[in-house]
Each structure stands twice: as C-alpha cells, then as structure tokens.
Amino acid sequence: LDVEAPGVLAMVPNPNVWYGAYRGSFLYKTIEGDFVVTTRVKVSGRDGTGTPDRSGSVAGLLVRAPRDDGRTDGEKFVFHGLGRMEAPETCLFAVKTVPGARPWAERSPSGSSEAELQLARLGKGLYLLAKFDGDRWRVRWKLSDAALPRTLQVGLAACTDWPTVERLTPEAYESRVVA
C-alpha cells in the first residue's frame, strides 16, 4: 500500500484472492442503504508497467456482507474488477457469491488495463458499470434482487497470483501470510 501521488492509492498485494472461501485484501467502509461508489483502476505488473504477470491479478470494487460468526462459507460478496484472469489479456469481470448471480467476464476493449468502475446499490438492485477512455458509462452486469442485507462493507480490493493461493486450503491460506 503506497500513496503514489495526491488522490492516488497504489495497492501492491502479496498473493491473495477473493474467490469461494478465500479472502484477500480489502479497504472498506461500512455503508447502510443505497450507494454509488466510483474508482479509476489501473492494473499492471509489479514494476508498474505492462499487464500483470500472474493469473488472478485483479483490482476493483467489492461489496461484502460478512457473516456474524466470522466464518467465510456462505458469505455474500460481489467483486467488480479489472485485471488478468487466465489469458494474458486484461478483462473486466464480476465474481460473486450471491445466490442467483452468475459470474461474468468480458475482454476489455483493446486490452486496456485502465478503466473507471462503478458499483451502485439502488433498492434491492446491484449494478456494475464501467467506462474506458473515450467511451461512455455502460451497465456491464446487474442483479435485480441481490438479496443483500441493508448494511454492507463497500470498498477497494486488489488480488494477485491465483496459482500460488490455490495450492493452499482456505484454512491454511487464512492462517498465514503468503509471500
């Protein structure tokens, strides 16, 4: 975590992911009711240039409804991000654990590694929007009935290096720092 320039936050994570029962880095604020959160995301390799080297290297907005008992199984979250999944090209994606929602991914235009992302909750709806340079805002994914509680954690998440993380069980992963 570093402050690159005024108004810029750089997150350089150790191997971590938001997937299934795995939980990664997350800077959040607890919000009640409707909200709109917007950020500009630029993903790159660890040296700050090019596209990420490792699959699962992504950054973006995350909304989470943690369980009261601290367990992660059955927890609800939606992660709207930009980064590298399996292929070396960057893509826009959504990962979810909300019942009734399907994961989604699409290639970013011209392999762009920069975009503005927006996550909006309006009533029971959850909307994920994105805008690339020279483009307009577009709804990329939506849940009509997100079945999320009124109070949520909403913020920024950055993940990297799924191949390293997947070698560990979620329990082993949560009990130590992966370097």
Write out the DSSP string of 24-56: -EEEEEEEES-EEEEEEEE---TTSSSS-SSTT
Helix boundaries (H) for the chain: 162-165, 170-174
pLDDT of residue 176: 67
- The pLDDT, as a whole number, for residue 95 is 67
Phi, psi of 160 (to 5 degrees): -160, 155
DSSP state of 98: S
| Distance from C-alpha of 169 to C-alpha of 126, rounded to nearest angstrom | 30
- Considering the entire predicted model, what is its pTM? 0.84
Which pLDDT belongs to residue 111? 67
Q: Which residue has the tokens 């029962």?
A: 21
Residue 19: predicted pLDDT: 76
**Ranges of residues in the chain whose predicted pLDDT is under 50:** 1
Tell me, what's the pLDDT at 18? 80
